[in-house]
Structure 1
Amino acid sequence: MPADRPAPLLDVRDLCVGFPARGRMVPIVEHVSFSLPEAGILGLVGESGSGKSVTAMAIMGLIDTPGVRVSGSVRFRGRELVGLPPRQMRRLRGRDIAMIFQDPMTAFTPVYTIGWQIDEQIRAHERVSRTQARARTVRILGEMGVPDPERMARRYPHQLSGGLRQRAMIAMALSCNPTLLIADEPTTALDVTVQAQILDLIRSLRATHGSSVLLITHDMGVVAQTCDSTLVLYSGRVAETGPSGRVFDHPGHPYTAALLDSIPPLYGPRPDRLPAIAGAPPVPTDRPAGCAFGPRCAHVHATCTAAPPALVPLGPGHAAACVLPAEGTPLPPRTVARGDACP
């Protein structure tokens, strides 16, 4: 690493996660590498089943299924997390690395109030009284836009709307001022108004708390609004990575281009139908020998079926795992002009 470039806050190298199935180890995440700088926002995108949440859970050390194999390197501020003893990992979770889980209704314990659960996290990591913990809980709930936070803190998860539960989940994640926030589909199942509010909160974390954010989503429009850089996963492998502006304006992988084509434009010619990606992602136990996207790709040819393509540099920090740029063949023109995409 050049001397004038600061070390990344999070540096993931060659991360692999395999689950036992059918008498063998099935790779769910394969050789995923990326870095996240201080106060950066990285979007981890892909369809359901692409390995996004498994990647996040591996970073957090939350995969405890018997027989699962996690290998590679996950360094947080230079400290290796893969293989870290559970006691030491628990000290990091919540205090230094926090996570907004995909479904706050199931992430919160239903038999305790929202305030009690946030209080408990604060007191687990800091030596504060119950009164001090509750005061901080009420304050941060208010900062997250929860109305009448003192009263809401006394409510149970089922008594809050989806948007308020998501805000409470963000408040819990930020209660100990973590340096890294992992947000797993934080806008799923929310209406567009609440979704926009949640994205505004996430964008404000960098300014108000100095946090770095790993934003996991399947929505390229969300990434366009929020993220500095983008990592596209497909079938557990990196399909494309780079600064969001370059990935969106000059996609180097047909899968990335197809995801972008599925975003309805806000202005310009309105297409009669948005293009859909034919087929479905491969089952992890039955991946093709070559490019995993090959069976769904309109530009597949013989080279694609030989072996999984390596990442090909396309520009500063931009690379795609596709044989087309490796052969000097540009992707065909996009079907839909991006413009400013809907969230």
Structure 2
Amino acid sequence: MLANTPAPPLLEVRDLCVSFTSRGQVIPIVENISFSIGDREILGLVGESGSGKSITAMALMGLIDAPGVHVTGSARFRGRDLLALPDRQLRALRGREVAMIFQDPMTAFTPVYTIGWQIDEQLRVHQRLSRRQARARTVELLGEMGVPDPANTANRYPHQLSGGLRQRAMIAMALSCNPSLLIADEPTTALDVTVQAQILELMRNLRTTYGSSVLLITHDMGVVAETCDSTLVLYSGRVAETGTTRDLFAHPQHPYTAALLASIPPMSGPRPDRLPAIPGGPPQPMERPVGCAFAPRCAHTHATCLPAPPPRFCTVGPGHTVACVLPAEGAPLPPRSGSSTSPVL
């Protein structure tokens, strides 16, 4: 490979679609999701609850097995399409090369086995370690994750640990086989601020300590700003905007992105009496409008937004794309005094 030839991405997702069939009707949940993650990169996948973030992650991991589900597109991980792999090969890859931190470790862990037993099992299956070697590595991993008294903690059941310790144990299990890609689904949900900061610090250290790339799923734009190299904003199962985190935060081009940023309390200057809120809520998948799904909640909606969906890709800068007719028409996002979509950066 030539020195100036860019390395291929670790994961390249193209036109990922997930739909369910209900009463003979095909209902799209996520549509045409495309993104890539490079080596040691942290990509943030953000949006409100119901935007399709977790469904996207579950589809990549092959964990959607409900009847009537259709998953199409491609997700090439080191040359192999995760969506086309046979079940046996996918099971061998999960946990070893691609691992996932689930949103709720209390329900992700099996309640009838100890934390240590569950991490041991993964090490024995994927790394072919003996029982003694697996337990020694489990204790070492828990210690690296900042778990106090890791030897005794390994013998405790999930319900005997606090939320922060369960989350650290979940991260230890996900990292036990040194995966190249870690999918973290809301890893700081329901944790107090101090523990959140510690978990995010662990996330940032993954690429230096383990050489891992991370797909970080969150609804918290503050977490994205602190942690992610690039960001992909989802709304109602579709990509609204994507770009480097620095560029997207400094120059949001989609009204939804600007509205999310407006919900962050300003770090300097006068503090508002109330933070702006986005009116209404995301549409149900079967109730999406014909045109832009965000149009009913957008302060900048005009006639062009309503009859047809927005353009899939409108390039507004290097690596910065947006699905909105405003940039497509050459119009900047118009500032509006007091609008709920005015970003507060």
Q: Is the 8 A contact 1:40 1:213 kept in 2?
A: yes
Once residues 299 and 9 of structure 2 are traced to their aligned partners in structure 1, the CA distance between those partners, rounded to angstroms, is 37
Once residues 177 and 82 of structure 2 are traced to their aligned partners in structure 1, the CA distance between those partners, rounded to angstroms, is 20
Once residues 268 and 190 of structure 1 are traced to their aligned partners in structure 2, the CA distance between those partners, rounded to angstroms, is 29
Whether 2:323 is the aligned partner of 1:321: answer yes
Amino acid at match of 1:335: S
Q: Deviations over 1:129-159 (max 9, x none)?
A: 0000000000010000000000000000000
Amino acid at match of 2:198: Q
Once residues 302 and 22 of structure 1 are traced to their aligned partners in structure 2, the CA distance between those partners, rounded to angstroms, is 34
Counterpart for residue 24 of structure 1:
25
Q: Deviations over 1:79-125 (max 9, x none)?
A: 11112111100000000000000000000000000000000011111
Once residues 132 and 269 of structure 2 are traced to their aligned partners in structure 1, the CA distance between those partners, rounded to angstroms, is 56
Whether 2:52 is the aligned partner of 1:45: answer no
Instruction: Give the Å deviation of 1:336.
Output: 4.7
Amino acid at match of 1:337: V
Counterpart for residue 128 of structure 2:
127
Counterpart for residue 74 of structure 1:
75
Instruction: Give the Å deviation of 1:327.
Output: 1.0
Amino acid at match of 2:158: P
Instruction: Give the Å deviation of 1:30.
Output: 0.1
Once residues 193 and 23 of structure 2 are traced to their aligned partners in structure 1, the CA distance between those partners, rounded to angstroms, is 42
| TM-score, scaled to structure 1 | 0.97
Once residues 69 and 327 of structure 1 are traced to their aligned partners in structure 2, the CA distance between those partners, rounded to angstroms, is 35
Q: Is the 8 A contact 2:314 2:323 kept in 1?
A: yes
Whether 2:336 is the aligned partner of 1:337: answer no
- In the alignment, structure 2 segments of 5+ residues that lack a partner are 336-340
Q: Deviations over 1:242-280 (max 9, x none)?
A: 000011000010000000000112221101110000001
Once residues 245 and 203 of structure 1 are traced to their aligned partners in structure 2, the CA distance between those partners, rounded to angstroms, is 16
Q: Considering only aligned residues, what root-mean-square deviation do their CA atoms show, in Å? A: 1.1
Counterpart for residue 294 of structure 1:
295
Q: Deviations over 1:44-102 (max 9, x none)?
A: 00000000000000100111011100000000011111121111000000000000000
Q: Is the 8 A contact 1:271 1:336 kept in 2?
A: no
3-state SS of 2:43 partner = strand
Distance 1:142 1:86, change over 3 A: same
Whether 2:148 is the aligned partner of 1:141: answer no
Counterpart for residue 341 of structure 1:
none
Distance 1:336 1:315, change over 3 A: closer
Once residues 213 and 118 of structure 1 are traced to their aligned partners in structure 2, the CA distance between those partners, rounded to angstroms, is 20
Q: How many residues align?
A: 337
Amino acid at match of 1:111: V
Amino acid at match of 2:342: T
Equivalent residues in 2 for 1:238-257, closer than 5 Å = 238-257=239-258
Instruction: Give the Å deviation of 1:194.
Output: 0.4
Amino acid at match of 1:200: E
3-state SS of 1:28 partner = strand
Counterpart for residue 180 of structure 2:
179
Amino acid at match of 1:95: R
Once residues 4 and 26 of structure 1 are traced to their aligned partners in structure 2, the CA distance between those partners, rounded to angstroms, is 41
Counterpart for residue 338 of structure 2:
none
Moved over 4 A (4+): none
Q: Deviations over 1:210-251 (max 9, x none)?
A: 000000000000000000000000000000000000110000
3-state SS of 1:245 partner = helix
Once residues 343 and 17 of structure 2 are traced to their aligned partners in structure 1, the CA distance between those partners, rounded to angstroms, is 35
Once residues 209 and 117 of structure 1 are traced to their aligned partners in structure 2, the CA distance between those partners, rounded to angstroms, is 21
Instruction: Give the Å deviation of 1:22.
Output: 3.3
Q: Deviations over 1:149-185 (max 9, x none)?
A: 0000000000000000000000000000000000000
Equivalent residues in 2 for 1:1-343, closer than 5 Å = 4-310=5-311, 311-333=313-335, 335-338=342-345
Instruction: Give the Å deviation of 1:128.
Output: 1.1
Amino acid at match of 1:255: Y
Bigger shift: residues 170-179 or 259-268: 259-268
Once residues 26 and 204 of structure 1 are traced to their aligned partners in structure 2, the CA distance between those partners, rounded to angstroms, is 39
Once residues 309 and 123 of structure 2 are traced to their aligned partners in structure 1, the CA distance between those partners, rounded to angstroms, is 45
Q: Is the 8 A contact 1:309 1:323 kept in 2?
A: yes
3-state SS of 2:59 partner = helix
3-state SS of 1:109 partner = coil
Q: Is the 8 A contact 2:13 2:75 kept in 1?
A: yes
3-state SS of 1:214 partner = strand
Once residues 286 and 87 of structure 1 are traced to their aligned partners in structure 2, the CA distance between those partners, rounded to angstroms, is 37
